[in-house]
Structures are given as structure tokens and as C-alpha cells.
Amino acid sequence: MKTEELKNLHPTLRNLVKSLNVEDYITEIDKMTEKIPNAMSLAERIVGITKLSARMKKGFLYGYDRTIKSNGEYYGEGRGIRSMYDGYQINSAIRFADRYLKGETRVEVGMKKPEFNLTKFKKLFSVGEAVKMLSYVSPITGDGYFYDVFSDDKGNVFTFEPNSISKGGYAGAVFVNEAEALKFLDFLLGDEKHYVKDLDIGLNSLGGWNIAQVDEKLKGVTNDR
């Protein structure tokens, strides 16, 4: 599996991964929790080969790069992937770099319990009405779980737990480019009346839909705003 996954990486990234001798961290789960003293240095080198802005790279690696005025708990100063186990830092950096070397321009953000000024949000992002869409069905109970899906005229997509936009819950966003993502982050974290318990920048593992889920679930869906 590792050989196959390595072969599927962008050629530039594949060569770098091999030169850094970090192939094991592509797929081998038992390696992910190993202690690697220079893990973040390796992650920096991997992410550094993308053409993303310095600010977006730093956001992914180390978290939000400006003064955080909003309240929060676990998120604190916004630690990026440095809060992960060392092996996962490298794995995440590889997945992140591969996405953008292969031409992706969108940016995903995951949030836990975001609370913000809804009026200001709608001035920045002209979203239409919520569309309630099935996210997944529990294989244990058979219950369906839904998100309220919002999109704006630029193509940004926001997913919130039903009836919870600006009020908490799990949420995600897929922005058409990094400028739109940074605009949202500046809005969310730049107001002392806002709150977010946890935040992922670049690889969403928290809530709402990521890029792959947006592509899958909105395939063929038109926006009739």
C-alpha cells in the first residue's frame, strides 16, 4: 500500500518524501504516534514546496497568524498541525502539499462550536437560504444526520448543524481560494464577541464538509439563489 500511495503522489512531492525518508508516514498508522524530534521541520519543508502564500502555509502548520480576539477553549492560540502526534504532522503535511501541487485552489476550514455575528457574516459572504442535506446515516441506529448547507455567489460553501449557523455546533467551510478563507478567519477570530472552541485550517477533521465531501454531495446540485 505504501508503494502505491507513494506512486500516486505528485512527482515533486514524491521525490521530496523519498529524500526525507518519510515514506512510512504516508499510510502506516502504527508509525503515526512515534516521537520525531524534527517533525515540524520536516512538515515545513514538505508544505514549503507548494505555491500557497506564506500566510496560508503558516496557518496550516502553526495556526492563525494574527492576534486572536475571539474567545475559545481548546483552540487557544491556534496551534495548527503542531498539536498533532509527530507522525500525523508529517502525514498531514504530505496530504496537504499533494492537494495543492495537483492544482487544487480551494481551502477547507473545520470548526467546533463557532459563534459569530450573523449580520456581519452575511455582508462578507452573500449566502442564500439554507438547504438541509443528508450528511450520513448511522450504521448502528440507522438515523440520518444532516447539515444546513449555504453557498454564496462566489462558490464558497458553508455547512452547519441544522439551525445552528452562528450559534455553535459543528461546522465546516470550503472556500474558493485562500483569500476568501483568510477573509473568513479574520472575521471569525478578529472579534472579541465571537467564539470558537476548536479550528482546523487546511485539513478539516472537525465538522462540516471538507472538499471531497462537498464535491461528492453537491455533485449535480445547482444553486438557485
Query: Is 46 in contact with 94 (CB distance < 8 Å)?
Result: yes
* In contact, 160 and 148? CB cutoff 8 Å: yes
**Domain endpoint, select from 81, 104, 127:** 104
Burial of 171 (0-12, 13-18, 19+ CB in 10 A): buried
CB atoms inside a 10 Å sphere around CB 182: 20
Looking at the structure, tell me whether residues 123 and 99 fall in a common domain: no
pLDDT at 225: 44
CA distance 172 to 159: 5
SS3 70: coil
Nine cell digits for residue 6: 507513494
Query: pLDDT tens digit string along 80-93?
Result: 999 899 999 999 99
Which of 50, 73, 104 is the endpoint of a domain? 104
Same domain for 183 and 95?
Answer: no
Which residue range is the domain that position 14 belongs to? 1-104
- The gap from C-alpha 50 to its chain's centroid, in whole angstroms, comes to 16
- Same domain? For 129 and 80 the reply is no
8 A C-beta contact, residue 177 and residue 213:
no
Q: Is 30 in the same domain as 61?
A: yes
State the pLDDT at residue 222: 53
* Co-location of 58 and 83 in the same domain: yes
Give pLDDT tens digits for 77-134: 557 999 899 999 999 999 999 999 999 999 999 999 999 999 999 999 999 999 999 9
Number of domains forming the structure of the chain: 2
Q: If DSSP codes are grouped into helix, strand and coil, which group holds residue 175?
A: strand
What is the reported pLDDT for 77? 52
Mean pLDDT on 146-158: 97
- Rg of the chain over Cα atoms, rounded to whole angstroms, equals 18
C-alpha to C-alpha distance for 147 and 134, rounded to whole angstroms: 7
What does pLDDT average to over the chain?
93
Q: pTM score, two decimals?
A: 0.93
| Among 75, 104, 133, residue at a domain's last position | 104
Band (pLDDT 50/70/90 cuts) for residue 219 is confident
